[in-house]
Structure 1
Amino acid sequence: MNISYDLLRRYVATDLTPDEVATALTSIGLEVGGVEEVESIPGGLKGLVIGRVLTCEVHANSDHLHVTTVDIGGEAPLQIVCGAPNVAAGKAVVVATLGTVLGSGDETFTIKKSKIRGVESFGMLCSEVEIGVGYDDSGIILLDADSVQVGTPAAEYFGVSSDTVIEVDITPNRVDATSHYGVARDLAAYLTQRGKPTVATLPEVIASPEGACPLPVSIEVDPTLCPRFEGLVIRGLKVTESPDWLRHTLETLGLRPINNVVDVTNFVLHEFGQPLHAYDLEKTAGALSVKLAGECKMTLLDKSEVTLSDRDLVIASKTGEPLCVGGVMGGLDSGTTETTTDIFLEAANFNATSVRKTARRLGVNSDSSFRFERGLDPNRTTWALLRAASLILELCPGSYIDGGRFDHYPVQAEPYAVELSLSRMDSLIGKVIPRDEVERILRSLEIEIVSQSGDLWSLRVPRYRIDVTREADVIEEVMRIYGYNNIELSGYIHANLSAKGPVDRAYSRRLLLSEQLTGAGFNELLNNSLSSEAYYEGLTSYPQEKLVQLVNPLSGELNVLRQTLLFGGLSAISRNLRRQQKSFYYYEWGNCYMAAPEVEKSTATTLAGYRETQYLGLWIAGERVQNSWVHPDEPASPFELKAHILHLLERLGVGERSLKAEFVELDIFSGKGYAYRTFDGKEIAVLGQVKPALLAKWDIDLPVYYASVNWELLNRLADRTKVEITELPKFPVVRRDLSLLINAETTFAELAEVARRTEKKLLKDCTLFDVYEGKNLPAGKKSYALSFYLQDTERTMSDKQIDAIMAKIRKSLEDTFGAELR
């Protein structure tokens, strides 16, 4: 939220600089994200002066240029070539001198000495658009030469002012600080605590409506949905452009001025934090009602068309037409225009949950919904209403309030009653704060001390502090104003040393694998656990009926918890592909969620039927090697991904022998996927090439290979694996090769598994070094060339022993797969 330094000091008297204010606010919990100087006219008209045109002659080489001499109060007049049709001798003009920087949109240019059609020019005569003081670009600015002083800085003539914008990052619980007065109130408490007694004050209001409101208003909803609704009628308006002070204030805050009535409501919103809305009285058709919308369509002020339901609160005209979505945004046709003469000015309080649900469902965010969603105090609507009415009467001479206020407030919102134990506060803070300081802090925060009975104080907390309802909340308020840095350490640090547990071991393994992947060239991703239900349409491997639905989704794009990490990685690849990246090696640790189809997700009150599992996802795509002088470009491949998976398993001591590899059918993969399972059928990892139809949703036009590792299963498997360190064997490894003719559907993994089963003790490894399919082979056959590595750690193996083992392996392969020796 943007806070104007100048406006802030209207409510709290302080001589702190903007940077000092930022430091103070951050220290009391209102963290400042940035401090920036803002000028009423961008650039501050630096380098621009008022001059007088002494002579104006037609350029000898042009029929539309003029050569002028201009007095700017210097030693000698400047010669300036000008193309404006209205330039004339004797006129006062705005001159950009050499070195002046002017802006045009996001671009800037510097005024330099130049030669235009053979004539030197030492400056520039400016139009309104060129210096940002207006919108007329038909010619240069002409001023009355008798009313200005030559040489006067243009900034002084046009009254350029500067302000400082302090960007405050408001946490969701601090709705009381979403206004200048709210921030001023906290700053006053800060100053008071530091020896400068200060009170935040609000300006006086002049509006004093009397009698009954002439516009009938009916409230047709439960008081919990609309705790308070009040308003008044103002007639005799002339809707025009706002005065400079109001326009400049709104522009400083980053808002676009619209007209004097709307600008007042926006000003009061940022001044006091209470949203307001001005209805064109003619559009109400003689009455207003607050009700639930029902099924209908409506066009909002931002020109978006939304479909309402019976869950949405609206303010409707006498004919039932919705004019405003309560707490969210007004309708396009309900607001004030240049033809408006009479308005109904509304200040209301709406249910925070209702507003939040409606805003999320409609996909609309506004300054009003931002505040209503966090919970506003219904006791604060009256001042905001009268303040806005006072400003409108001031800006619209001749306007008047017709009748009195309509005020629907069936249930009075009382302050929160909190009991504070001083001894418990001392224990929690770790320091005894003098009682008079505690009392001063509470009073500076407008917390009333009802009674003080020994150790126990009874307090009444203002209703606008919705986050201070418990004793611990009050203690936190005392601490933040007293100053966390003023609470000294006791000097004794408690430490606890404990044995490494399962969680610690899992974290160490995860860190080990992350370092390995990073060292192999991978980048780590961190994606949102919330996902879009649309991603899962038509999938059987991750069915929609097993999605965990959110009751109050942030948006339609984030309405479920993810079942897989896949889609987050595809989004990252798509985003970086559009930024001209060519190599994509990513990994991510994250939880995935699944619900049993029979669970009623929207009403479930327990975790029964829901499952949360941690996975490791790997993505590779694009170029494995690119732009290398020693190696040709090489694309990523699924075999590379498989190698990375095996390296991760080996790093944890989970050998390939302890798992079973097999092809699997998954509809996220193009063709078959490849899975590693334990021998009791639990899937540890699955990998494959992502189906092009899925990639098309992210506009990815290159192959993507994805692997999903069930980290919880792998971690438990690693926990049972005992890693031993032994001496290097003294006896050599013996290699023997076999070239086999086998059926085309037989895989190397199946051959290796049979070989290892046949010789469990001396066979150390089995690798594939050649594959051939094609001519000179029988139909349905292929040729595999395998290497077998044998080693006896206690003695040198004899030829007879080696031949016997190889014969046994060969026979097993022949019996199992019908393999033939080539």
Structure 2
Amino acid sequence: MKFTLSWLKDHLETEASLDEIAAALSMIGLEVEEIEDRAAALAPFKSAHVIEAKQHPNADRLRVCRVQTEDGEVQVVCGAPNARTGMVGVFAPSGSYVPGTDMVLKPGNIRGEDSNGMLVSEREMGISDEHDGIIELPQGTAIGVPYAELAGLNDPVIDIAITPNRGDCLGVRGVARDLAAAGLGKLKPLAFPSTKGDFESPIKWRRDLPADQQDLCPYVAGRYFRGVKNGPSPRWLQDRLRAIGLRPISALVDITNYVTYDLNRPLHVFDAQKVKGDVTMRLAREGEEILALDGDTYKFDNEMVIIADENGPEGIGGVMGGELSGCSEETTEVFLEVALFDPARVAITGRKLGILSDARYRFERGLDPDSALWGVEVASKLILELCGGEASETVSAGEHPAVKRKLSLRKGRVQTLGGIEIPFDEQVRILKDLEFEVTETAEGLDAVVPLWRNDVECEACLVEEIMRIHGFDNIPVVPLDRDRVLPQGVLTLSQKRRSFVRNALAWRGLEECVTFSFISRKQAGLFGGAKEELTLVNPISSDLDVMRPSALPTLVASAARNSDRGFPDNALFEIGPQYHDDSPTGQMLVAAGLRSGAPKGRHWEAKGRLLDAFDAKGDAMAALEVIGAPVANLQVSADAPSWYHPGRSGAFRLGPKVMGYFGELHPRVLNAMDLKGPAVAFEVFIDAVPQPKAKASGKIKPALELSIYQPVERDFAFVVAADTPAEKLLRAAKGADKQLITDVELFDVYSGKGIEEGKKSLAISVTLQPTQKTMTDEEIDAVAAKVVAQVAKATGGTLRG
């Protein structure tokens, strides 16, 4: 929401400085996002006198001007057709920044003539699109006067953020009301003088809505104007609209925009001569369409409220008017619309059509119902003042739905709910200044809520209003009690596991991402597809319309964006939900990770390699281990989902239950998501890991005992079938003697000369750790025999000769 300081002072009588106003706005919940001081930006541009303008000797379309500035006489080469001797223009010296052309002026030589500085146009100053010539100031204008002062641009523009519940502050008067209540001045009275109609309106308002949907447009009013002249609006009005980023169009259109921002009352005006018959508020018929004021054509469904005449649709209720009945410079007869629309239906219509207009933004947050009454008078006053003509009697349809709410506030509730003691008289004063109708009672007070405050619904809302205006900075800072230890069981097992996994993956060099839990249907199709029940009815964006069936798509998209921006080496992880269905158990907590690019940075001493499935497997096993998964007992199967590369991926299983997946991502997925491969990923299903068994009450975990005896390593090479998983052999070897064998590692895989076709050699190192005494050769040989026997039984492998 933007407005200028002088515009605010139209409603607020105050001596407060700009800094004081900005500070107060933020403290009462209207956060200041930016203050634009246009006078500071235009400070170098000042009035100057053109002493002489003569033809450039070497260019037909250039003139050499001698310009008298406040700092003396300078020569400027100018190409404007209106540059002439004796005129008063606007001069920018060398070194000035010209916002309209985004350049810094430098002394130059143009076709053999020196040029120092510039005589500027409005477009070069960035204040309008006018560029037919340089700015001409009235004769007699003193030299050296800042142009911002001459043009009325020395008016700071304030931009504030409006929360969805404060639709009343989408008008300058609403902001002024809050500031007055906060003690920064006095709210000026606002009169709505009644305009007497001179004739009966030839166009009437009608409503044709189903009996059970009358609230879609409960009331509409307006009047007919004839003999108007729709020329340019006055300079003061154009300046205010330009200041907030709106382009002046014509007096009639500018009036509607001005009232929208000034009083939070959207209006619409029809060229009455283009309207056929009466104008009706009704539901659209399936397939009807309209060419809107933004130049686009929109098709309606039968749930949208439209404004129509005998020609068909002329406007979209609460959203935008139609082009065919829009006002132009030739308009001499006008029909005014001041309506009330259902906020929810306006929002739905706007979303369906993809239109975000100033009108929709305000209607969907709720308007003051009384504005449908006084809005007619405000618009009438401005139209008659700026465009002339005469007005008809007011015409309307429907019933005005002004129903006020009455709330009670008990004494002491501000302190108990807000933690701050505010004198009761001050509470009453604040609510009255916010234009609540307050009556004091024995228990506290009764307050009738203003019609424009549809967000105030209960006693707590009154407390919030009082505290907000009193100032959030006045709420005392109370430190948390840190003298006691947090009780056991504060964190759930799931919360602990999240923390453990987060730390483990961070230590492995991965960076955490936080992404949306919804993705596009196209991305979902690459990762198993999305069921119909996971499709969002009201997505925040058309490309975020389904709940993600896997946590990997958003990580792949993040890596692709990083790669596009020159960061191809990615190591990312996320801990969050993914969705199988819409049942209570359909959401699963997953730790997902992705690596792409090079495993490590390039270095002359290190030999480069590509990422492979074992990088992802290591990450996944680290995550599983820290959350208590029985890593040693997990089986690895080669049945990872279709988004993994077949033969280069796997699944962790504990019996029939899947603990997670790992491996290279399928090239089809990488190509579809524009990520250069290879890329490896993993998914660990945190909730699938069994919970640890409850410990017996009072049982103490035994102390760790380390052996004082030297471990013994023995190497074995087994010949097994080529399709035998190494993991199966390692598991068999380790299970040969669970007391003595503490570790088994694979250190070589070989096939070729000396190995029978269809076979391979797997070489393993077995570590024996005695705890009672040093082992004899016979004891070691006995364990070795067990290893050979166990491997043979499990895999059919034989010792390599």
TM-score normalised over the length of structure 2: 0.90
Instruction: Give the superposition deviation at 1:632.
Output: 4.4
- Alpha-carbon distance in 2 for matches of 1:53, 1:719: 97
374-383 or 436-445, larger mean C-alpha shift: 374-383
Match of 1:677 among 617, 642, 653: 653
Instruction: Give the superposition deviation at 1:293.
Output: 1.3
Q: 1:454 aligns to what SS in structure 2?
A: coil
Q: Does 2:333 align with 1:342?
A: yes
- Alpha-carbon distance in 2 for matches of 1:268, 1:125: 36
Superposition pairs of residues 304-319 of structure 1, within 5 angstroms:
304-319=296-311
Match of 1:101 among 80, 92, 97: 97
Tell me the amino acid that sits aligned with residue 784 of structure 1. L
Aligned to 1:110: 105
- Alpha-carbon distance in 1 for matches of 2:131, 2:427: 62
- Alpha-carbon distance in 2 for matches of 1:495, 1:461: 44
- Alpha-carbon distance in 1 for matches of 2:456, 2:611: 56
- Alpha-carbon distance in 1 for matches of 2:640, 2:503: 32
Aligned to 2:724: 746
Superposition pairs of residues 715-734 of structure 1, within 5 angstroms:
716=691, 726-734=704-712
- Alpha-carbon distance in 2 for matches of 1:458, 1:140: 62
For residues 748 and 386 of structure 1, do their structure 2 counterparts lie closer, same or farther at Cα, with a shift above 3 Å needed? farther
For residues 544 and 488 of structure 1, do their structure 2 counterparts lie closer, same or farther at Cα, with a shift above 3 Å needed? closer
Aligned to 2:54: 56
Q: Does 2:144 align with 1:148?
A: no
Q: Does 2:217 align with 1:217?
A: no
Tell me the amino acid that sits aligned with residue 677 of structure 1. R
Per-residue Cα deviation, 1:84-103 (whole angstroms, up to 9, x for no partner): 66655555554433333323
Per-residue Cα deviation, 1:457-511 (whole angstroms, up to 9, x for no partner): 3321112211112112112212222334445579996976543217355434433
CA contact (8 A) 2:74 2:116 kept: yes
Instruction: Give the superposition deviation at 1:191.
Output: 0.8
For residues 693 and 292 of structure 1, do their structure 2 counterparts lie closer, same or farther at Cα, with a shift above 3 Å needed? farther
- Alpha-carbon distance in 2 for matches of 1:31, 1:89: 50
Match of 1:182 among 174, 187, 201: 174
Superposition pairs of residues 406-421 of structure 1, within 5 angstroms:
406-410=395-399, 412-421=401-410
Aligned to 1:294: 285
Aligned to 2:622: 647
CA contact (8 A) 1:653 1:723 kept: no
For residues 777 and 505 of structure 1, do their structure 2 counterparts lie closer, same or farther at Cα, with a shift above 3 Å needed? same
RMSD (Å), alpha carbons: 3.2
For residues 692 and 387 of structure 1, do their structure 2 counterparts lie closer, same or farther at Cα, with a shift above 3 Å needed? farther
Aligned to 2:33: 33
Superposition pairs of residues 189-588 of structure 1, within 5 angstroms:
189-191=181-183, 198-202=186-190, 204-205=192-193, 207-209=195-197, 212-221=200-209, 222-296=213-287, 297-319=289-311, 321-397=312-388, 399-401=389-391, 403-410=392-399, 412-450=401-439, 452-488=440-476, 497-501=485-489, 503-504=491-492, 506-537=494-525, 541-545=528-532, 547-588=533-574
Superposition pairs of residues 707-786 of structure 1, within 5 angstroms:
707-714=682-689, 716=691, 726-774=704-752, 777-786=755-764
Superposition pairs of residues 116-131 of structure 1, within 5 angstroms:
116-127=110-121, 129-131=123-125
- Alpha-carbon distance in 2 for matches of 1:661, 1:735: 26
Match of 2:667 among 664, 667, 692: 692
Instruction: Give the superposition deviation at 1:618.
Output: 0.6
Tell me the amino acid that sits aligned with residue 295 of structure 1. E
- Alpha-carbon distance in 1 for matches of 2:676, 2:604: 27
- Alpha-carbon distance in 2 for matches of 1:332, 1:64: 41
- Alpha-carbon distance in 1 for matches of 2:2, 2:766: 71
Per-residue Cα deviation, 1:601-626 (whole angstroms, up to 9, x for no partner): xxxxxxx6553322111111112223
Aligned to 1:159: 151
For residues 352 and 618 of structure 1, do their structure 2 counterparts lie closer, same or farther at Cα, with a shift above 3 Å needed? same
- Alpha-carbon distance in 2 for matches of 1:442, 1:796: 88
608-617 or 761-770, larger mean C-alpha shift: 608-617
CA contact (8 A) 1:53 1:93 kept: no
CA contact (8 A) 2:530 2:548 kept: no
For residues 565 and 51 of structure 1, do their structure 2 counterparts lie closer, same or farther at Cα, with a shift above 3 Å needed? same
Q: 1:671 aligns to what SS in structure 2?
A: strand
Tell me the amino acid that sits aligned with residue 78 of structure 1. V
CA contact (8 A) 1:235 1:341 kept: yes
Aligned to 2:163: 171
For residues 664 and 201 of structure 1, do their structure 2 counterparts lie closer, same or farther at Cα, with a shift above 3 Å needed? farther
Match of 1:813 among 778, 791, 794: 791
Instruction: Give the superposition deviation at 1:189.
Output: 0.7
491-500 or 694-703, larger mean C-alpha shift: 491-500
Q: 1:766 aligns to what SS in structure 2?
A: strand
Per-residue Cα deviation, 1:116-136 (whole angstroms, up to 9, x for no partner): 455544344445544456656
- Alpha-carbon distance in 1 for matches of 2:568, 2:652: 30
- Alpha-carbon distance in 2 for matches of 1:281, 1:665: 68
Q: 2:34 aligns to what SS in structure 1?
A: strand
Aligned residue-pair number: 792
- Alpha-carbon distance in 2 for matches of 1:173, 1:248: 30
For residues 453 and 53 of structure 1, do their structure 2 counterparts lie closer, same or farther at Cα, with a shift above 3 Å needed? closer
Tell me the amino acid that sits aligned with residue 819 of structure 1. G
CA contact (8 A) 2:205 2:220 kept: no
Instruction: Give the superposition deviation at 1:155.
Output: 1.0
Instruction: Give the superposition deviation at 1:7.
Output: 1.0
Match of 2:778 among 792, 800, 804: 800
For residues 307 and 765 of structure 1, do their structure 2 counterparts lie closer, same or farther at Cα, with a shift above 3 Å needed? farther
Q: 2:426 aligns to what SS in structure 1?
A: helix
CA contact (8 A) 1:29 1:480 kept: yes
For residues 637 and 350 of structure 1, do their structure 2 counterparts lie closer, same or farther at Cα, with a shift above 3 Å needed? same
- Alpha-carbon distance in 1 for matches of 2:324, 2:772: 93
Instruction: Give the superposition deviation at 1:701.
Output: 3.0
Q: Which runs of 5+ in 2 are unaligned?
A: none
Aligned to 1:9: 9
- State the identity %: 31
- Alpha-carbon distance in 2 for matches of 1:500, 1:516: 23
Tell me the amino acid that sits aligned with residue 454 of structure 1. A
CA contact (8 A) 1:53 1:92 kept: no
For residues 650 and 313 of structure 1, do their structure 2 counterparts lie closer, same or farther at Cα, with a shift above 3 Å needed? same
Instruction: Give the superposition deviation at 1:13.
Output: 1.0
- Alpha-carbon distance in 1 for matches of 2:136, 2:429: 59
Instruction: Give the superposition deviation at 1:188.
Output: 0.9
Tell me the amino acid that sits aligned with residue 437 of structure 2. E
For residues 699 and 523 of structure 1, do their structure 2 counterparts lie closer, same or farther at Cα, with a shift above 3 Å needed? same
177-186 or 755-764, larger mean C-alpha shift: 755-764
Instruction: Give the superposition deviation at 1:586.
Output: 0.8
Instruction: Give the superposition deviation at 1:741.
Output: 2.4
Q: 1:616 aligns to what SS in structure 2?
A: strand
Instruction: Give the superposition deviation at 1:307.
Output: 3.0
Q: 2:307 aligns to what SS in structure 1?
A: strand
- Alpha-carbon distance in 1 for matches of 2:436, 2:773: 87
- Alpha-carbon distance in 1 for matches of 2:416, 2:365: 31
For residues 134 and 755 of structure 1, do their structure 2 counterparts lie closer, same or farther at Cα, with a shift above 3 Å needed? closer
For residues 624 and 723 of structure 1, do their structure 2 counterparts lie closer, same or farther at Cα, with a shift above 3 Å needed? farther
Instruction: Give the superposition deviation at 1:415.
Output: 0.8
- Alpha-carbon distance in 1 for matches of 2:142, 2:31: 47
Q: Does 2:576 align with 1:590?
A: yes
CA contact (8 A) 1:30 1:168 kept: yes
Tell me the amino acid that sits aligned with residue 682 of structure 1. K
TM-score normalised over the length of structure 1: 0.88
CA contact (8 A) 1:449 1:460 kept: yes
CA contact (8 A) 1:357 1:552 kept: no
